[in-house]
Structure 1
Amino acid sequence: MDRARHVHTACSNKGNKNSIKQITQFLNSKELQNTLNQIIKIDQTIDYKEEMTDLKEKNKIKLRSKHVELSPYLDDIGLLRVGGRLQSSRLVGEIKNTIILSQTSHLSWLLVNDAHIKLLHGGYAMMMNYLRSRYWIVGLKQLVKKCGRQCVTCTRHKSLTTQPQMGNLPEVRVNPGPPQPFKCSGVDYAGPIQIRTSKGRGHRSYKGYICLFICMKTKAVHLEAVSDLTSSGFLSAFRRFTSRRGKCAEIWSDNGLNFVEAARELALMLNQTKSDFGREVAELLANDGTSWHFIPPRAPNFGGLWEAGIKSVKTHLA
């Protein structure tokens, strides 16, 4: 659009023999605006010939015209503008009485593309607000959407990456199991969060984490506060979890270092030969037959169940 204005202005200045103005290297804003008004006037003469003729002769358009609701009129330079009810407003005249353009006009398409580039590939609402401040383009919304669909840059940035086909759900999630919840559980961490050991003034808060246990059958959630990401901290949370919810037969988790180390300690504890806990706890877990399952490394999509639980917890704690 800018190139068309510059070329038309330069040609007009060169072909005007009566003009005493020297043709300089640069064109001023007044010349460019006059050129744009001439282009708009030519375009309106083609698209709204009948309306402009009626306004010149009778100062009003026919009632069967599609644009009678806009109360159009001709301004001082012969451009067709919207009438409206903002004549008492202190707004600029170009904003109060915008220029009427047709949807099928090539000029309207050039103006929409020019606005799309100037607004740095902005959205539909931004482009419509920008164009409506000066032009009343009939069917503007359709033109703006068409411009966005045909823009290669917008299409490239809005394109979706290829989504891999998800695998089957684990057997424990689709088959009936024991009625006791948390018999088969998934575990994950969230945080860090601030934890206070006591109430009152003058007490410090410490960094802690949330250990989430989620039932693979009922999706019930159990939360435990953990002081750190060590294996001992998790084993303490695991003991509190089993004391409250009952024995746990199977556990699923990702490949976090604390989980891997905890699984190793649980295996040693089940052997009862190198147990770090007391004999009663070792015998209890050995009788429970707790087994640990890890999802593949760097594949969090396999743990979508507890990831969704983490999201829900963060939503309610925020």
Structure 2
Amino acid sequence: MEIDCLQKGLPLNRNNSLLKLSPFLDDEGLLRISGRIQNSDIDLPGKDPIIVPAKHHVATLIVRHYHEKSEHQGRHITEGKIRSSGYWLVGGKRLISSILHHCVVCRKLRGKFVEQKMCTLPQDRLTPCPPFTYIGLDTFGPWNVRARKTRGGQANAKRWAIIFCCMVSRGIHIEVVEEMSTSSFINALRRFIAIRGPVKHIRSDKGSNFVGAVKELNLNVIDVEDKAVKDFLSEESITWTFNPPYASHMGGSWERLIGTVRRILDNMLRNTDTKHLTHEVLTTFLAEACAISEPATTGTRI
């Protein structure tokens, strides 16, 4: 209709959407935009763009072509590539967005990660019980501490921490151990039970800290499979469940709290000379970090 009006020399309807583009017909009968650079001697493809309706199939082919030439970039780059090539798509933004939305290559390059549906919580996370009846534990560290003074200077040693997380109340308890060994772990667990009360069930990951098989590599570990640990757990009527290997997300209940304690401890150590860090100072810092990160809803067992 617009081409017929221009061929007959008639003005376009005042409500026509092309009126603001000042369209005109070239020598080949193509409908073009009359821009502000008509008097320029430079012959540019985008000087007088050809008007193409977005609903036409040719417009779809143009968008797909220049979208591939722009290496599957976004709408703005694709649209700029089309206009600089001498085409003006009426309603092109919606068409370009639609084609990019259905582009398989773009979906592969910039697709969103699939979010897995969270499973139901285990029973020990929901059972009403006193705090620290069901716990998850893990070790973190080490830290270098000053052990004793010698004639040649100072003898340094390493310290680790064991975090006990209540599966119900989210309360935490931290014990410092001198070495990653079965005896140190049993002492830490005995101190924990003496303060917090009896434990029914323990959860942890199946990391190298708790599996005795890595002793063949001469690593410092807590051997849960050791007879002393088994006897102690049996006497206290405690069951221990390992998370599957390479499933660290199943231990997020206590891994998240370890990160919180680490951030608090890092800020405490920032104002302390770590060269003069002692076992007593480290224990104090961990106790204060435990108190800061512990939720207000955590109760205490009498």
SS in 2 for 1:144: helix
1:69-99 per-residue CA deviation (whole Å, 9 max, x = no partner) reads: 44445578765444577999xx996557644
Letter in 2 for 1:268: A
Distance in 1 of aligned mates of 2:176 and 2:166: 18
- The Cα RMSD (Å) is 5.4
Offset, 1:118? 1.8
Compare the two structures and name the one with the higher helix fraction. 1
Aligned to 2:153: none
Letter in 2 for 1:297: P
Distance in 2 of aligned mates of 1:175 and 1:114: 61
Pair 1:109 & 2:60 matched: yes
TM-score (norm 2): 0.53
Q: Choose the corresponding residue for 2:124, options 172, 196, 217.
A: 172
Pair 1:302 & 2:250 matched: yes
Contact 1:212 1:221 in 2 (8 A): yes
Aligned to 1:216: 167
Aligned to 1:68: 19
Aligned to 1:43: none
Residues 233 and 263 from structure 1, CA distance in 2 versus in 1: closer, same or farther, beyond 3 angstroms? closer
1:101-136 per-residue CA deviation (whole Å, 9 max, x = no partner) reads: 211222211111112322333344543343344433
Aligned to 1:140: 92
Residues 209 and 268 from structure 1, CA distance in 2 versus in 1: closer, same or farther, beyond 3 angstroms? closer
Contact 1:224 1:237 in 2 (8 A): no
Residues 240 and 75 from structure 1, CA distance in 2 versus in 1: closer, same or farther, beyond 3 angstroms? farther
Higher RCO (CA-CA < 8 Å; seq separation 6+): 2
Aligned to 1:186: 136
Aligned to 1:120: 71
Q: How many residues align?
A: 243
Distance in 2 of aligned mates of 1:240 and 1:270: 14
Residues 93 and 253 from structure 1, CA distance in 2 versus in 1: closer, same or farther, beyond 3 angstroms? same
Distance in 2 of aligned mates of 1:241 and 1:141: 68
SS in 1 for 2:135: strand
Residues 171 and 68 from structure 1, CA distance in 2 versus in 1: closer, same or farther, beyond 3 angstroms? same
Distance in 2 of aligned mates of 1:313 and 1:77: 75
Offset, 1:258? 0.5
SS in 1 for 2:55: coil
Aligned to 1:268: 228
SS in 1 for 2:13: coil
Offset, 1:265? 7.0
Offset, 1:264? 1.8
Letter in 2 for 1:253: S
Offset, 1:173? 1.1
1:269-302 per-residue CA deviation (whole Å, 9 max, x = no partner) reads: 5747xxxxxxxxxxxx998655422122344453
Letter in 2 for 1:102: P
Consecutive unaligned residues in structure 2, runs of 5 or more: 147-156, 213-221, 267-302
Distance in 2 of aligned mates of 1:56 and 1:241: 97
Aligned to 1:293: 241
Aligned to 1:27: none
Contact 1:186 1:252 in 2 (8 A): yes
Offset, 1:239? 6.3
Percent of matched pairs sharing the same residue: 31
SS in 1 for 2:224: helix
Letter in 2 for 1:67: L
Offset, 1:61? 3.0
Offset, 1:184? 2.5
Consecutive unaligned residues in structure 1, runs of 5 or more: 1-49, 199-205, 273-284
Offset, 1:242? 3.6
Offset, 1:303? 3.2
TM-score (norm 1): 0.51
